[in-house]
Amino acid sequence: MATTEHALTGTAPTAGDDRLTLHSFIDALPKVELHVHLVGSASVPTVLELARRHPGGPVPTGEEELRRFYRFTDFPHFAKVYEAVSNLVRTPEDVATLVLGTARDLAAQNVRYVELTVTPYTHQRMGMPMPAITEALDLAVRQARDLYGIQVAYIFDIPGEFGPEGCRQTARHALEHPPEALVGFGLGGIEQMRAAIRDEIREAFRAARGAGLRSLPHGGEMSGPETIWEVIEGLGAERIGHGIRCLDDPRLVAHLRETQIPLEVCPTSNVCTGQVPDMAAHPLPRLLEEGLFVTLNSDDPPMFDTTLTGEYRVAADVFGFGRAQLADLARNAVAASSLDGPGKQAIVQEIDAVA
């Protein structure tokens, strides 16, 4: 883990780190995004285009109405909205368009590499064959590199609310028709619904890990430490999406401190879905004070009216992080990524040059 004394103590920025200068530093900082979902990354204009192309569903076709549609009351409400938007993605061309849109938006923020979470079962349910989905994902990787200079990798995740079939079909897709850039296997959705299919989830992860994919599930976002223990002990998690509920269990905090399993923290997402009451109450500073390995991420940026750059600005403006802390968070994301050694070294050198 790339850490400094500043990163662990939460020391406020120096007087020279005025807000405008710090924002300019954040803008220039090379970044890596590890926790962003394909459908959740669709820009408002893209969603409006899809909604108008496929009318009659619950997704609004006007911009103001769509922005109101994105005001969430709790996580189940967010999951319902997310599913409605997912159902607008009906062709392989739609899939490729979403990837390229995300790549374009991230490249504009100086993001060099992204691990994009795709939930292929939702596209299968809309009638897309696995090979067609994979072909679209492969094409988009090449176009993202050529057009925007950003490297895209994929994580296939199980939608926990779709039961055993979602587990089986996601694992089958990952094993039988994997995109060339597939690096990990994940688990999302409503955490409280996982217990009923725990064995099926574990079996899917055993198969994926056996095929060389990294275990990158969500845990401890909307439920307690027991969910985090399950993804560690039952799924062999190498990185954990969110993980903020670990602070409720001192033994778990000690384990995460010792093992340095990275936590993909998404502050704005946690506020928008009601997992924390407001940004000032977010546990990000305490996670760092406890010596845990943390990365900053955007999750579903247009749905939460944020960006990865915006998350770094939150860290600076709300929590008082200075340049050293922000650069350390950027280095952490590189270290926790699935890039090879030379790929990591190249981005870290860029970060060091800016810092």
β-strand partners of 3: none
β-strand partners of 114: 33, 152
The predicted pLDDT at position 1 comes to 40
Per-residue pLDDT, averaged over 249-273, amounts to 97
CATH number of the domain to which 104 belongs: 3.20.20.140
pLDDT digits (tens, 9 = 90+) for 116-161: 999 999 999 989 999 999 999 999 999 999 999 999 999 999 988 8
Task: Name residue 108's amino acid.
Answer: A
The predicted pLDDT at position 6 comes to 29
Q: Which residues are catalytic?
A: 221
Where is average pLDDT lowest: 44-58, 222-236, 247-261?
44-58
Cα–chain center distance at 72: 18
Residue 282, pLDDT > 90, answer yes
Structure tokens at 101: 């849109």
Distance, CA of 119 to CA of 131 (rounded, Å): 14
Q: 99, 44, 90: which is closest to 301 by C-alpha?
A: 44
Per-residue pLDDT, averaged over 265-287, amounts to 96
The predicted pLDDT at position 353 comes to 97
Residue 2, pLDDT > 60, answer no
Confidence bin at 14 (pLDDT 50/70/90): very low
Structure tokens at 228: 């985090």
Total domains, the chain = 1
Q: Model pTM?
A: 0.91
Structure tokens at 194: 């996982």
Per-residue pLDDT, averaged over 71-98, amounts to 87
The predicted pLDDT at position 80 comes to 86
| Helices and strands in the chain: count of H runs, count of E runs | 17, 9
Cα–chain center distance at 273: 15
Distance, CA of 139 to CA of 130 (rounded, Å): 14
Strands 111-118 and 240-242: unpaired
Q: 202, 197, 198, 196: which is closest to 215 by C-alpha?
A: 202
* 240 phi, psi to nearest 5 deg: -125, 125
Residue 196, pLDDT > 70, answer yes
241: helix, coil or strand? strand
The predicted pLDDT at position 42 comes to 84
95 and 173 Cβ atoms separated by less than 8 Å: no
Q: Which domain holds residue 44?
A: 5-354
Question: Which letter does DSSP use for residue 299 in this model?
Answer: B
